[in-house]
Amino acid sequence: MHLVNGREVMSDINDIYAKAKVNLYQKSPVICFIIYNLIVIFTDKLDTAGTDGKNLYINPEFFKKLSPGKRVTLLYHEGCHVLFLHGERKGDRDSIKWNVAGDAVINQKAMRDNCEELDDWVTFDYLNNFLDQNSKFSSYRDYSTEEVYDVIKDLPDNLFEGFKSDVLNGWNNSEAKKNVETAKSMGGSGYSEDSKEFKRMLETLHKPLPWYRLLWNKCEEKAKDDYSWMRPSRRYPDVYLPSLYSEALSCSIFIDNSGSIDDTTLNKFYSQLTAIKAAIHVTNMDVYFWSTEVTDHYHFDYDDPVKIGKIHSTGGTDLSCIKDSLPKTGIVIILTDGYFCDVPEIQNRKDIIWIIYDGEGDLTRFKGTSIRLIN
């Protein structure tokens, strides 16, 4: 479907666009497929082009002035924003700097695929002009957009004046995911599936349930014998929820306090503990802090508020130190960055929920349920 300022028309711009799509197939059949499934809207409201995951917006005069090769590159670039679900992965990050980071990752890929360079496009070499020697990007290394963003996020905003995001507001998660799922079924993406960017896309595409919802599922398995209305808590007298109820549903949480976890992540985790206790009717909860040994232990009964006092750390991380504290029954959660020597006796337990707060940690090391805690 081709629209100009909201109205369907036929003109030479459609022919130019159609030829560019055909030529894009030579670069990447899958990205070409994604472009074919976007609704293209020609409009002068954008200076160049952009996508919201469902529509592709192109300034027709800008597009006409590009060489045939640059038209292909433009479609390739916008298709990659959809393929890698950049609109959803942005989260609450700065829109311009996130877009610059995504552009750099895409454009490095485009250069490897011999796409004709666009004028003033962002590359790692461009970003290196603003970075100190220890932070510079290598054209030969593999980066995810998240990694690039983390390097440039603290650069002065005035360095990005004049930049406009082509990952547009109002990103349509469901349409973008549907498009990518169908494209993937064609057999590959034209992009190494071992690359960090591809892995991040897959994690977003098949995003696991939030850890507290996974905990709910575990409670169903543990307490499926008694489904009832939750008894009201004295702390939450006005709330009745349909809930599984078990007389002795325990939850043990082990928090890696080796020093690599930041306060923001810990506070997000703490904020959920009381909600978990109330929502799934945990009758008793034990919270352990550990590094090379278990340093602190807090116990909470059902009506106790979750309040964590001062915690200690010995530095380093030794997973084996929690072995004697791990219960054989109930719900067990381990919050960690995953940087420790393997302890198969613990990692092979299928009843443990692992919450990994490192952005790139390998989730396949854990036989139980694992989920990445992404800020």
Q: Residue 295 — pLDDT band, cuts 50, 70, 90?
A: very high
**Least reliable range by pLDDT among 6-15, 19-28, 78-87, 107-116:** 6-15
Instruction: Give me the mean pLDDT over the 114-125 stretch.
Output: 93
Arch. (CATH architecture) of 211-372: 3-Layer(aba) Sandwich (3.40)
- pLDDT tens-place string over residues 307-350: 888 888 777 889 999 999 999 888 888 988 888 899 999 999 98
Burial class (CB in 10 A: 0-12, 13-18, 19+), 15: exposed
Listed in order, the ranges of the chain carrying CATH 3.40.50 are: 211-372
- pLDDT tens-place string over residues 11-66: 689 999 999 999 999 889 899 999 999 999 999 999 999 999 999 999 999 999 99
DSSP helix/strand/coil, 129:
coil
- pLDDT tens-place string over residues 343-355: 999 999 988 888 8
Q: Where are the beta strands (DSSP E) in the chain?
A: 2-4, 7-8, 39-42, 49-51, 55-58, 227-229, 242-244, 250-256, 284-290, 294-301, 331-336, 352-356, 369-372
Q: Which pLDDT score, from 0 to 100, does residue 275 have?
A: 66
Q: Which pLDDT score, from 0 to 100, does residue 221 have?
A: 64
Distance CA 159, CA 92 (A): 20
Could you tell me if 40 and 58 are in contact, meaning their C-beta atoms sit under 8 angstroms apart? yes
Instruction: Give me the mean pLDDT over the 117-138 stretch.
Output: 92
Residue 110 token pair: 């485009």
- pLDDT tens-place string over residues 131-190: 998 889 998 888 999 999 999 999 999 999 989 999 999 999 989 999 998 887 765 545
Residue 245 predicted with pLDDT over 60: no
Strands in 2-4's sheet, in edge-to-edge order, are 7-8, 2-4, 39-42, 55-58, 49-51
Highest-pLDDT range among 56-65, 176-185, 206-215, 259-268: 56-65
Q: Where are the beta strands (DSSP E) in 148-282?
A: 227-229, 242-244, 250-256
Residue 234 predicted with pLDDT over 90: no
Instruction: Return phi, psi of residue 196, to 5°.
Output: -65, -35
